[in-house]
Every structure is written in structure tokens, then in C-alpha cells.
């Protein structure tokens, strides 16, 4: 079986969010599952892709890609990494800019890319059985396939899958784009139109054989207006092709036993796990400039997140006084909206000994924070899957999350009586519900008596978190089943 992933970002080449991590892992996981699969990935050749990769790419050929009334140049480059071939599509007008998104012509840029994905097959000779597109940036490719390529050899039986990583972003533009820029007419025009706009994600929902979200709970949630960002009608009408498969994480790269950033390394089987976690915590507190307590142990709560409304930063800001009134320390690492950055700076100024906001992108520090923290707070308003709660659990940082989307599917509330569960949860998007969950989590922690029930709970919930199975293998199997069901 031949599978081609089309994506606007992919680790290790370019990343703005979890989409890049998924595209960096799922193709490899499929290949490991079944080495006879031919899995390839195609992405734009952005200016931001590091020179070392550019130097190693080979030029395969070029082609002009018709889009509406224009013909646009497209160079095709290839690069092999760990058994996967990556194709990079070059057009300097569209992609030689700093950054990936946020330009006035993003609609045209990614319509071009989506069309170029199909057109470039004539250069590479790689016609997949399944074209797997991701989010709005590539969602219109299945519609272009139907509108312009279906009758040509190579494309006739090609099937399509659309993954929805975040339904908030839909590629919505003025509807003149559909005919004037994308060149679509007739029924294809209607498929790209939604509520009077161009909607590239909706085009993908219409044209793809399967629509897969990144967790089963999110697949249910987006059938309702609270979560659907206006797409509930079309999703309910196309429910027959909608499902959810939870993402995994890279267990090799994220292993507290051999990650070089983590001192000392630790494993769930260590008899002195708590002491090693404490050593990691002291180290990270020192780096952050927060005081370390030698007499009593204070839990460190971490948030590592994009600072957007999706992530529930508003709840934290609303309840921060009550949280920080307790004997806790908190670190937030992330970048994002200015209003959140400035609110966090203000909290830091008010609680300099207890709270630290690191408002920059620092991968090495993030590993240390996962390893050094006791709890990981993620009160998302919505969360299609969420990867950081899984990373946190792997590093023994117990999640405190809102029961939504992938958080609901990966974090099981801890029950002391049964010793089951791997985190603490709350239901409503409400600051006081979140506060209650934080208090429940911390209550377990503060026990000084090492033979007490709550101290045992503290250790059990941490171990449960560390042993939860977030490997890609399970999910890759499910994707493969979906592919087989359509071809
Ligand atoms: C988006 C979602 C996140 C998900 C990721 C990868 O970033 O917001 O929940 O984990 O995509 O699928």
C-alpha cells in the first residue's frame, strides 16, 4: 500500500504546533508496523527549513501548477530520513517568507500547495493509494483531485483521508476565492462554499473518504456548536465518515531514562523515584530562580503551552490568587497572545518567589520542566488531542486536566479506593472547578508522613501516569484499518 501524507508542517523540518509532531511520528510508526508500506510525506519548501536539510535535498524536477487563471512554478525536491521519503515543493513567491502562516494570501498559498501535491505526482511518479491530508492547509486537495485529476491515469482510484487536528482553523475567505483563485465551478464550487464563505476545511470534509479527528471524544464533541466553530451541520450530515484516533508520542525521544537534558535520569522502576524527581525539581527551580525549600517539599505545578484561549489560560488567570495562596510553586513556559503574556508577567511580579513565566520557546528547558514538575496543569477549553499531557505523564508529572477531547481520552481520574487512574480532572470550563482539581491533586502531595495513605496515593498516581501506554503502535494499527476499509 502506498500512502502520501500532505502537511503544512512536520518535525524535524518545521514546527509551530502538535501537527508537526504527529507528522513526524505517524509515518514512521506505520512503516514500523508494516515494512511493506510505502509511506511518504510532502510539505512546502519554506524559507524556515534549516539549511542542513536543504543542502541534503535532491532536485527531482519541476512543473507548472495551474491554479485558477495562473500557472505557478513548482520545484520538487526529495530527502530521505529514517526510511521515509519527504518531498518538498518549492515556490519562492509563496514560501520564501519568514514564518509559516499569517499572510493575507494564505488561502491562495495553501490552495497552491494542495494542487501542487497532486500535480507533483507526475514529477515523482508516486501515485498513492491513500492521500492523507491534514487540517485546512491541505484539506482542499481531495476536492481538487475530484475536480481536476479524477479522469487521469494514476488518480482514478486514489482514496483520501482528512485529519482534523483543530477545527478552529478552517481556511475561511471571501467566497470569490473559490472560482477566481481556485478555479472551481459547479458542484465543486458548492463543496468549497460554506455559509457564504470559502471554507477549505469544509471542502475536505465533503470530498474526503474519511474524516478522522485526533481523539474519539473530539470526534463526538465537534458535532455540537460549543466545539464545532460553525461546522456542526456539515459534520452531522457527514457523520458516517467521521471517527477519532488518539495520537501517540515518540517514546524513544521522550524517555526519562536516557534524555540528556534530565539530571538525574529516572525510571518508574527506581526505588528512589521520588528522590530523583525531587533532584530534578531542585535543578529546575534553580534554573528558574525560584527558591528551593530544604525543610519541606513543595509541589511544582507546570504549564507548557501555546498561550491561546484554547488552552484555558483564562481559567488560570482567574484563579491564580487562590492557587498561589497554597503551598505550591508554578512555572509557565510558552509563547502566544500578548494579553496572556502580559497577565502572566503581572502574576510573576506579584508572586516572585512562587511563580515564574518563561515566555519563549526553549525545548531543552521544557524537558527539564516535565521531569522536574510534580503536576502538569492543562485546563483546555477544547483539546483535539493534546500531546503535552502525555509527555508530562511519561516524565512523572501528574496531569490536572479538563475532561475534554483527547484529555478525556488519555487522563483517567485517580480513585484512591481502587488505586486506579493517572491524573486529576474536572468537567466544566470554570475557574473554581479547576481550582478544586488542583486542590485535590495537591492534597495528596503534601503529606509528610511517608507511611500515610495520601503519600502512597501520591506515588501510585505518579507511577500510573508513567506506565500509561502512549505508543504510536496502537494508533498506527487503527489508521491502517481505516486505509484498508477505503481502498
Ligand atoms: C493541534 C491540537 C492538539 C493536537 C495536535 C496534534 O495542535 O490543538 O490538541 O494534539 O493538533 O494532533
Alpha carbons 2 and 402: distance in angstroms, whole number: 38
According to the model, what pLDDT value does residue 292 have? Answer: 79
Ligand 1 contact via 401 beta carbon (within 6 Å): no
Ligand 1 contact via 132 beta carbon (within 6 Å): no
According to the model, what pLDDT value does residue 294 have? Answer: 67
Q: 386 alpha carbon to ligand 1 midpoint, in Å?
A: 5
Helix (H, G, I), strand (E, B) or coil at 130: strand
According to the model, what pLDDT value does residue 195 have? Answer: 96
Alpha carbons 221 and 403: distance in angstroms, whole number: 11
Does the fold of domain 273-469 match that of domain 2-248+473-486?
Answer: yes
Ligand 1 contact via 19 beta carbon (within 6 Å): yes
Ligand 1 contact via 75 beta carbon (within 6 Å): no
Q: 68 alpha carbon to ligand 1 midpoint, in Å?
A: 32
Q: 306 alpha carbon to ligand 1 midpoint, in Å?
A: 11
What is the share, in percent, of the chain residues with pLDDT greater than 70? 99
The set of cell numbers assigned to 422 is 493517572
Candidates 314, 246, 318; CA nearest to 25 is: 246
Ligand 1 contact via 25 beta carbon (within 6 Å): no
Ligand 1 contact via 221 beta carbon (within 6 Å): no
pLDDT one-digit tens code per residue, 351-372: 999 999 999 988 899 999 999 9
Ligand 1 contact via 305 beta carbon (within 6 Å): no
Counting from 1 in the atom list of ligand 1, the atom nearest the Cα of 135 is 11
State in Å, rounded, how far the first CA of the chain is from the last one. 9
Angstrom CA distances, 325 to 210, 263, 319, 329, 435, stand at: 49, 30, 10, 10, 11
Residues in Cβ contact with 142 at an 8 Å cutoff, skipping those fewer than 6 apart: 131, 133, 160, 162, 203, 204, 207, 208, 209
Contact (CB, 8 A) for 67 and 182: yes
Q: 450 alpha carbon to ligand 1 midpoint, in Å?
A: 39
The DSSP letter of residue 290 is P
Candidates 145, 146, 67, 76; CA nearest to 108 is: 67
Best residue among 10, 379, 381, 384 to mutate for probing ligand 1, ranked by most atoms within 8 Å of CB: 384
pLDDT at 115 > cutoff 80: yes
Q: Could you tell me which CATH class the domain 2-248+473-486 is placed in?
A: alpha beta
Q: 66 alpha carbon to ligand 1 midpoint, in Å?
A: 32
Characterize 160-185 residue by residue with b for buried, 16 or more Cβ atoms within 10 angstroms of its Cβ, and e for exposed: bbbbbbbbbebbbbebebbbebbbbe
**Ligand 1, atom 12: closest residue by C-alpha:** 165
Q: 167 alpha carbon to ligand 1 midpoint, in Å?
A: 10
Ligand 1 contact via 165 beta carbon (within 6 Å): yes
Q: 20 alpha carbon to ligand 1 midpoint, in Å?
A: 9
Compute the average pLDDT of residues 169-182: 97
Domain boundaries, the chain: 2-248+473-486, 273-469
Give me the chain's average pLDDT, please. 96
Counting from 1 in the atom list of ligand 1, the atom nearest the Cα of 17 is 7
Counting from 1 in the atom list of ligand 1, the atom nearest the Cα of 310 is 8
pLDDT one-digit tens code per residue, 314-332: 999 999 999 999 999 999 9
Give the rounded distance of the alpha carbon of 385 from its chain centre: 7
Compute the average pLDDT of residues 66-94: 97
Q: 19 alpha carbon to ligand 1 midpoint, in Å?
A: 6
The CATH code of domain 273-469 reads: 3.40.50.2000
DSSP readout, 90-120?
E-HHHH-SSSSS--TTHHHHHHHHHHHHHHT
pLDDT at 295 > cutoff 80: no
pLDDT one-digit tens code per residue, 224-267: 999 999 999 999 999 999 999 999 999 988 999 999 999 999 99
Ligand 1 contact via 386 beta carbon (within 6 Å): yes
Phi, psi of 48 (to 5 degrees): -75, -10
According to the model, what pLDDT value does residue 165 have? Answer: 98
Residues in Cβ contact with 263 at an 8 Å cutoff, skipping those fewer than 6 apart: 279, 280, 283
Determine how β-strand 242-244 pairs with β-strand 355-358. Answer: unpaired
Compute the average pLDDT of residues 212-230: 98
Q: 384 alpha carbon to ligand 1 midpoint, in Å?
A: 5
In terms of C-beta density within 10 A (0-12 exposed, 13-18 middle, 19 or more buried), how is residue 446 classed? middle
Q: 385 alpha carbon to ligand 1 midpoint, in Å?
A: 5
Ligand 1 contact via 22 beta carbon (within 6 Å): yes
Helices (H) and strands (E) in the chain, counts: 22, 18
Ligand 1 contact via 24 beta carbon (within 6 Å): no
Ligand 1 contact via 380 beta carbon (within 6 Å): no
| Alpha helix (H) residue ranges in 231-378 | 232-237, 273-288, 313-325, 338-350, 363-372
Compute the average pLDDT of residues 280-302: 90
According to the model, what pLDDT value does residue 446 have? Answer: 73
Sorting pLDDT into bands at 50, 70 and 90, what band is 447?
Answer: low
pTM more than 0.85 = yes
Contact (CB, 8 A) for 264 and 233: no
Sorting pLDDT into bands at 50, 70 and 90, what band is 291?
Answer: confident
Ligand 1 contact via 154 beta carbon (within 6 Å): no
Ligand 1 contact via 17 beta carbon (within 6 Å): yes
According to the model, what pLDDT value does residue 448 have? Answer: 63
Ligand 1 contact via 18 beta carbon (within 6 Å): yes
Compute the average pLDDT of residues 290-316: 91
Amino acid at each position: 500500500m502506498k500512502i502520501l501524507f500532505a502537511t503544512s508542517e512536520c518535525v524535524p523540518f518545521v514546527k509551530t504546533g502538535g501537527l508537526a509532531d504527529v507528522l513526524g511520528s505517524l509515518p514512521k510508526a506505520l512503516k514500523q508496523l508494516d515494512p511493506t508500506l510505502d509511506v511518504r510525506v510532502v510539505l512546502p519548501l519554506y524559507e524556515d527549513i534549516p539549511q542542513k536539510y536543504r543542502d541534503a535535498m535532491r532536485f527531482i524536477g519541476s512543473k507548472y501548477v495551474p491554479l485558477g487563471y495562473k500557472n505557478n512554478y513548482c520545484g520538487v525536491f526529495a530527502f530521505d530520513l529514517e526510511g521515509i521519503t519527504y518531498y518538498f515543493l518549492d515556490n519562492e513567491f509563496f514560501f520564501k517568507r519568514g514564518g509559516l502562516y499569517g499572510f493575507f494570501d494564505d488561502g491562495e498559498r495553501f490552495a497552491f500547495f494542495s494542487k501542487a501535491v497532486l500535480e507533483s505526482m507526475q514529477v515523482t511518479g508516486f501515485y498513492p493509494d491513500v492521500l492523507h491530508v491534514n487540517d485546512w492547509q491541505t484539506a482542499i486537495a481531495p476536492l481538487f483531485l475530484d475536480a481536476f485529476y479524477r479522469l487521469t491515469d494514476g488518480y482514478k482510484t486514489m482514496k483520501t483521508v482528512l485529519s482534523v487536528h483543530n477545527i478552529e482553523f478552517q481556511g475561511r475567505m471571501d467566497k470569490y476565492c473559490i472560482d477566481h483563485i481556485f478555479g472551481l465551478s459547479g458542484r465543486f464550487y458548492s463543496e468549497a462554499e460554506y455559509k457564504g464563505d470559502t471554507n477549505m476545511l469544509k471542502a475536505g470534509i465533503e470530498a474526503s473518504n474519511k474524516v478522522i479527528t485526533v481523539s474519539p471524544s473530539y470526534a463526538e464533541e465537534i458535532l455540537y456548536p460549543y466545539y464545532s466553530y460553525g461546522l456542526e451541520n456539515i459534520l452531522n450530515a457527514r457523520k458516517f465518515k467521521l471517527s477519532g484516533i488518539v495520537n501517540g508520542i515518540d517514546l524513544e525521544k521522550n524517555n526519562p531514562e536516557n534524555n540528556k537534558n534530565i539530571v538525574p535520569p529516572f525510571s518508574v522502576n527506581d526505588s528512589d523515584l521520588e528522590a530523583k524527581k525531587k533532584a530534578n525539581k531542585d535543578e529546575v527551580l534553580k534554573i528558574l530562580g525560584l527558591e528551593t525549600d530544604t525543610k519541606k517539599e513543595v509541589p511544582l505545578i507546570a504549564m507548557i503551552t501555546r498561550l491561546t484561549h484554547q488552552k484555558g489560560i483564562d481559567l488560570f488567570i482567574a484563579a491564580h490568587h487562590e492557587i498561589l495562596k497554597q503551598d505550591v510553586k508554578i512555572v509557565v513556559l510558552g509563547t502566544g497572545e500578548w494579553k496572556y503574556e502580559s497577565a502572566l508577567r503581572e502574576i510573576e511580579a506579584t508572586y516572585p518567589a512562587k511563580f515564574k513565566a518563561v515566555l519563549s520557546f526553549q525545548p531543552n528547558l521544557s524537558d527539564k520542566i516535565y521531569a522536574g514538575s510534580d503536576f502538569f496543569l492543562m485546563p483546555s477549553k477544547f483539546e483535539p488531542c493534546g500531546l503535552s499531557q502525555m509527555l508530562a505523564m511519561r516524565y512523572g508529572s501528574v496531569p490536572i486536566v479538563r475532561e475534554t477531547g483527547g484529555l478525556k481520552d488519555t487522563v483517567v481520574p485517580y480513585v484512591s479506593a481502587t488505586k486506579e487512574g493517572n491524573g486529576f480532572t474536572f468537567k466544566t470550563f470554570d475557574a473554581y472547578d479547576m481550582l478544586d482539581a488542583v486542590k485535590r491533586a495537591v492534597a495528596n502531595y503534601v503529606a509528610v508522613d511517608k507511611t500515610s495513605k495520601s503519600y502512597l496515593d501520591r506515588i501510585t498516581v505518579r507511577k500510573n501516569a508513567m506506565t500509561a501506554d502512549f505508543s504510536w503502535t496502537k494508533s498506527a494499527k487503527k489508521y491502517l484499518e481505516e486505509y484498508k476499509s477505503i481502498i
